């Protein structure tokens, strides 16, 4: 017997209106108890899905849809971690550490290089990303970067450091007669 059935039976037996030896009344109470238990279970699931720490399915998905795509490819713990990081972004999130946390909230593995004299931050993304994911990441990076910084997101291409180390002059590069397409595909 469920606790709900016993609780209902005890509460109703004090009224002396019901004969619980009658199987019809007893069976009806069991049905009500079953339905109430199911409703209680569903309410507990809904309550769990309201909070990042306890959500495990649609609660996570609904929050992820607010900031981008649903990340079913990641573990529940990783999804929770990313959502917490993302929700902690605020107006004061302009330090290097906060920017790194923000980038981690996208599920991005990266190397961040700063060029303070140029007001540029280079984000070298690690991993394989589709064109749609790359566009989304660039858009999100643009949203979180302070207005005075220019952020360059690179997906497996050459980094600023590689270019700087080559010490190529403008005259040398211009003499190669590259097209824009050639430049975009340089490695």
Predicted local confidence at residue 28, as pLDDT: 87
* Entry pTM: 0.48
pLDDT of res. 41: 93
Longest dimension (CA), the chain: 102
Average pLDDT estimate for 103-110 = 82
At a CB cut-off of 8 Å and minimum separation 6, what does 146 contact? 94
CB 113 within 8 A of CB 159: yes
Determine the pLDDT at residue 159. 56
Q: Span 67-77, mean pLDDT?
A: 84
Q: What is the mean pLDDT of residues 25-42?
A: 90
Instruction: Give the pLDDT band of residue 94 (cuts 50, 70, 90).
Output: low
- 111 Cβ neighbours under 8 A, 6+ residues apart: 123, 124, 126, 159
Tokens (6 digits) for 184: 């975009």
């Amino acid at each position: 017997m469920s606790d709900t059935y016993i609780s209902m039976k005890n509460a109703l037996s004090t009224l002396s209106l019901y004969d619980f030896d009658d199987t019809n009344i007893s069976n009806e109470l069991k049905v009500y108890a079953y339905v109430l238990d199911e409703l209680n279970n569903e309410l507990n699931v809904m309550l769990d899905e309201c909070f990042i720490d306890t959500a495990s399915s649609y609660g996570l998905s609904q929050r992820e849809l607010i900031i981008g795509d649903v990340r079913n490819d990641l573990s529940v713990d990783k999804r929770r971690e990313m959502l917490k990081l993302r929700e902690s972004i605020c107006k004061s999130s302009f330090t290097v550490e906060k920017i790194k946390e923000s980038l981690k909230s996208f599920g991005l593995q990266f190397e961040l290089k700063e060029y303070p004299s140029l007001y540029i931050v280079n984000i070298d993304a690690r991993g394989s990303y589709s064109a749609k994911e790359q566009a989304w990441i660039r858009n999100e990076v643009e949203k979180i970067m302070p207005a005075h910084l220019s952020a360059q997101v690179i997906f497996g291409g050459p980094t600023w450091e590689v270019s700087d180390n080559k010490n190529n002059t403008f005259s040398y590069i211009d003499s190669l007669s590259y097209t824009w397409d050639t430049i975009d595909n340089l490695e």
